[in-house]
Amino acid sequence: MAATPEKQLMAKVCGFIQMFLLAFVIAGETICKALGIQTPEFVKTLQSNPWLYGFMVFFLGNNIQSSLNTTGAFEIFIDDHLVYSKLATGKMPNMNEVLAIFQENGMEFK
């Protein structure tokens, strides 16, 4: 099951913002000079400590994108038949429950 189209779009927008910010962390003053504009304070701040802000933008952006694309689904299919769905039950099965599901469907474990 995939995330909703709205969340997928928001994740893509977040990715574009992340790349935009990383570009300004790496080459902000150069970009501003090429565009013929004065370097904004936030760009100077980003470039004051590029390692810190670069890692922060990278990890925070990836975390946000990941959370937007997460559905919370955990499903077990046997022969294209859904035998367990976390979305339907509202809970994650423990190992004993997973083993029981497989055994109920004819699988043996030794």
Which CA distances in Å does 7 have to 10, 64, 66, 68? 5, 11, 10, 5
Amino acid at 33: K
Query: What average pLDDT does this structure show over 80-107?
Result: 90
Residues 24-33: tens digit of each pLDDT: 999 999 999 9
| Listed residue (74, 81, 79, 80) closest to 97, CA to CA | 74
The model's pTM: 0.66
Asked whether residue 2 carries a pLDDT value surpassing 80, the answer given is: no
